[in-house]
Amino acid sequence: MRKKVSIVGAGNVGATAAHWIASKELADVVLVDVVEGVPQGKALDMLEAMPIAKQDVSIIGANDYAATANSDVVVITAGIPRKPGMSRDDLLKTNYNIMSSVVKEVVKYSPNCIIIVVSNPLDAMAQTAFRQAGFPRERVIGMAGVLDSARYRTFIAQELNVSVENVTAFVLGGHGDTMVPLPRYSTCAGIPITELIAPERIEQLSQRARDGGIEIVNFLKTGSAYYAPSAAAVEMVEAILKDKKKILPCAAYLQGEYGIDGYYVGVPCKLGAAGLEQIIEIKLTESEDAALKKSAASVKELCAVIGV
């Protein structure tokens, strides 16, 4: 019997995640959205591509969460982007309400699932999902670091003119401005990039990775990134469904690790069939530790606004 993954939100990120999952033949997919016809239409279109892709998976669209029953993994992409004139707090509260209502339905139909949160602001939305679900922390994980490190790896590979397969990149902290890239743990074919790239150039690449989302928004004007974010979420789904024990940078609920307690922050996580199976703690320099604590403080601020 195939695994089942439900994706909440049939916008660009959700629909593209469904496409990646189907193309890898990882699981049957349910695409859920409040807009009538959109998840049904996109799901049917993908399903009709399966004979060409030679993949046997079921893809259905629905407006009702009953279709998601007994999902192994639920990926939540639902939420609204910030609009002109909307404050960060307004956006936060709106997406808090959306996340809360989504999680209630998810838990009702799939009480044993693992939840992957993709909605922004990521760390605060993961915290909201965790509080609302009442699941152990192992079953509510946020997607941020996989995307951030993929962007960082892209820029490092371009800089060194090498295969992206040769490059590993290490990032900690929140998604976006407070992201903490760790160049001394980032490598090309096992060689630390600090031995291959000048320090000032590394800082430029690190900043470009932090600004990765806004760079794409500035190009698109009326939208945001979705190919890389959806691929990042699916890498997490695959690690869980295949019990890969893969170490990926994810937003996890910390209980004293890295000196942080009670908040979702990006750290290296081992993902397997149980979800979050281990948080990997590494020694940080004073400056790295300070940057991570600053990142955690910004998450704490957002969580205070919505009371989670």
Q: Which residues are catalytic?
A: 175
Q: How far apart are CA 235 and CA 269, in angstroms?
A: 13
Contact, 249 vs 214, CB < 8 A? no
On the CB side of 291, CA atoms within 13 Å amount to: 19
Asked if the bond preceding 121 is cis, omega within 30° of 0, the reply is yes
**221-224 long-range CB contacts below 8 Å, 24 or more apart?**
223/12, 224/81
Query: What's 15's DSSP letter?
Result: H
| Residues 3 and 24: beta-carbon distance below 8 Å | no
Q: What is the 3-state secondary structure (H, E, C) of 45-71?
A: HHHHHHHHHCCCCCEEEECCHHHHCCC
Backbone angles phi and psi of 25, in degrees to 5: 55, 40
| Residues with Cβ within 8 Å of residue 214, at least 6 apart in sequence | none
Sign of the CA dihedral 182, 186, 191, 195?
Answer: negative
